[in-house]
Chains A and B, each alone.
Chain A
């Protein structure tokens, strides 16, 4: 069982907007910034959003992140077929003195 809680699945049709939630506690999301990763099938995780809402160079602005209290969200607008992937949230955890991840959300583009 993961320390951060994500829905196991999400779906949408091309062009739609979808959001993926990530719930934690005061020991992780409540105290530290949240990062989001995209993992395409058979590949390594790729940094998608860092520091709650910052996009690395090359990540389309269709991807956005937000954080409020002990929860965070990833939003994908203008959904495309190539967005079909697993998405993970991550945050530093005080008591563990290390990174914790969500269990991952499998996004299906219908």
Chain B
């Protein structure tokens, strides 16, 4: 059963860069039918898609975050990563990584990590 696990600092200072890694286990990040993405959820609010990446390195980002986001992949470690620069308190959220897989002819975020809480504060 594929599992995803987020890791990274739980506290980031304003104006600095948030860095998270998602480790994929019991499955290959190089699967041709999957993308790998990030979603966040501010406290008490809904879900916001950040972006995703294919194992080849091809990326897609939420336009509202595009200028500050970089998603990368390391196939040798079966990991993909998120960097969000110039963070503010508005970036405080639970960050989830998820697999975006082709199911029944369409893509679906079907497996999610448990999430990691990131607080932006000095």
Number of A-B contacts (CB under 8 A): 66
Decide if B96 touches A45 in the complex (CB within 8 Å).
yes
Produce 1/0 per residue, A45-70, CB < 8 A to B: 11100110010100000000000000
Any B CB within 8 A of the CB of A44: yes
Any B CB within 8 A of the CB of A110: no
Could you say which of B49, B108, B111 contacts A101, with CB atoms under 8 Å apart? B49
Decide if B113 touches A44 in the complex (CB within 8 Å).
yes
Please indicate the chain A residues that have their CB under 8 angstroms from the CB of B109 in the complex.
35, 47, 90, 99
Nearest CB to that of B103 among chain A residues?
A50
Decide if B96 touches A50 in the complex (CB within 8 Å).
no
Decide if B47 touches A101 in the complex (CB within 8 Å).
yes
Which residues of chain B from 103 to 120 have any CB-CB distance to chain A below 8 Å in the complex? 103-115
Any B CB within 8 A of the CB of A103: yes
Task: Pick out which of these stretches binds chain A: B7-15, B24-32, B56-64, B77-85.
Answer: B56-64
Please indicate the chain B residues that have their CB under 8 angstroms from the CB of A92 in the complex.
106-107
Which residues of chain B from 41 to 70 have any CB-CB distance to chain A below 8 Å in the complex? 46-49, 51-52, 60-63
Could you say which of B49, B112, B113, B115 contacts A46, with CB atoms under 8 Å apart? B112
| Known contacts A37-B47, A98-B49, then 5 further A-B pairs from the complex at CB < 8 Å, ordered by chain A residue | A46-B112, A51-B104, A101-B48, A101-B49, A103-B46
